[in-house]
Amino acid sequence: MKKIKAFLQKETVLCIAALCAVATMFLVPADGEYLHYIDWRVLCLLLCLMAVVAGFKSLGAFDWLTYQLLRRIKSGRVLGVTLVLLPFFCSMLVTNDVALIVFVPFTLALLSGLGCEKAMVPVVVLQTVAANLGSMATPVGNPQNLYLYAAYSLSAGEFFSVVLPLTAVSLAALTAASVPVLPRALPEQSLREERITSAGKLGLYAALFVLCLLTVFRVVPYPVTTAVVVVALFLADRKLLKEIDFMLLLTFVCFFVVSENLGRVEAVREFLQSLLSGSTLLTAVGASQVISNVPAAVLLSAFTEDWRELLAGVNIGGLGTPIASLASLITLKLYIRWPGAKVGRFMVVFTAANLLGLALLLGFAMLF
């Protein structure tokens, strides 16, 4: 019983996702379509990135980056803005998932070393919002952009005319919000110079990370990358494979089932069609809260030609509930696994920040 209770506490998100998946299976009985639910590319990329990030961590790379950052930045205000805007800009090129997998563990380690545990929740929440909003700025920043860009045969000018104003507002709001998250003066630290423990392995993990990025950009097929990463890490340090959060991958599988099943329920589809006749923007935002923004983009694109409002809606709709953007689940899982995590406080701050951001951008989009 104690083991079951411990598992439920540790894997709360997975348990909820599994229950939701089972519930939707009563609405849509298992059939051959279930085989097409799982986005294996996303799962394999997550697996590879988690393993490579674990490799960097094992070499002390995060400790070295922390040392380099603190050696140059003495102001807590500047550090706070830097930590939030790093995933904002990086997500434009490497996707919101990748940005969070890389920067959230780094941030937790850095703030722990500074003795700024109270700032962990607001900083990683803002990083999550930043990654989701920064990723909307480019066609490759997130899966919904990539899909809609191709589905509607958009030109670069058409695409950027919608997302760049939203990105500019997001940047201004995130910068303002991140200024007060850390104290003006950082705690006095007697910095100890950190070194990478193995330059050879660092080169290997860096090469594997580049390979993952090439897969993000669809230059290298994901089965090739997965095989190379698994074999390379097995030979270099097989303990790293144990660092992969397979429960997170299973959580994604459950949400794939939930979103795809809901999309096949005729009543849900008819309801969405009726909503689209009123406002594509509001429907896209609302659907994203329930089935996540990527499935919402795919589902709603079949019923509307208003690509402008749909594009804006599914990107703005990434704010809100934890499943509005599945990238948000990455932060939640990474934080929950951190010693001393305060999940209740995290959810309160996460909800408040997301609702404020959602209200701001939705209001701007409706006026724009």
pLDDT digits (tens, 9 = 90+) for 142-200: 878 878 887 788 888 899 999 999 999 999 999 999 999 888 877 765 556 667 788 88
> What pLDDT sits at residue 189?
59
Residue 287, number of CB atoms within 10 A of its CB: 28
Position 9 scores a pLDDT of: 67
What predicted TM-score, i.e. pTM, was given to this entire model?
0.77
Distant-in-sequence, close-in-space partners of 85: CB < 8 Å, separation ≥ 6: 130, 171, 174, 175, 178
pLDDT 10s digits, 295-316? 788 778 878 889 999 999 999 9
Does 42 have pLDDT greater than 90? Answer: no
Give per-residue burial for 94-109: e unless 16+ CB within 10 Å, then b: bbbbbbbbbbbbbbbb
Mean pLDDT for the chain overall: 86
- Cα–Cα distance, 246 to 46 (Å, whole number): 10
pLDDT tens for residues 340-365? 888 899 999 999 999 999 999 999 99
**Residue 178's closest CA among 86, 66, 56, 313?**
86
Q: What pLDDT score was predicted for residue 154? A: 84
From residue 45, give the alpha-carbon distance in Å to each of 212, 222, 256, 338.
7, 7, 16, 22
Residue 200, SS3 per DSSP: helix
What is the four-CA torsion angle of 126, 132, 137, 143, rounded to 10 degrees? 170
pLDDT of 112 > 90? The answer is no
> What residues contact residue 365 under an 8 Å CB cut-off, 6+ apart?
166, 281, 312, 313, 316
Instruction: Identify the pLDDT of residue 191.
Output: 53
> pLDDT digits over 211-245, tens only?
988 887 778 999 999 999 999 999 988 888 888 88
End-to-end, the C-alpha distance of the chain in Å comes to: 55
Q: What are phi and psi of 28, to 5 degrees?
A: -130, 95
Rounded percentage of the chain residues whose pLDDT exceeds 70? 97
Burial environment of residue 285 by CB neighbours within 10 A (0 to 12, 13 to 18, 19 or more): buried
pLDDT of residue 280: 92
User: What is the mean pLDDT of the segment spanning 124-133?
Assistant: 96
- pLDDT at residue 36 in the model: 86
> Which pLDDT belongs to residue 225?
94
| CA 201 – CA 348 distance, rounded (Å) | 40
- What is the rounded average pLDDT of the residues 285-294? 87
Average pLDDT over residues 28-55: 85
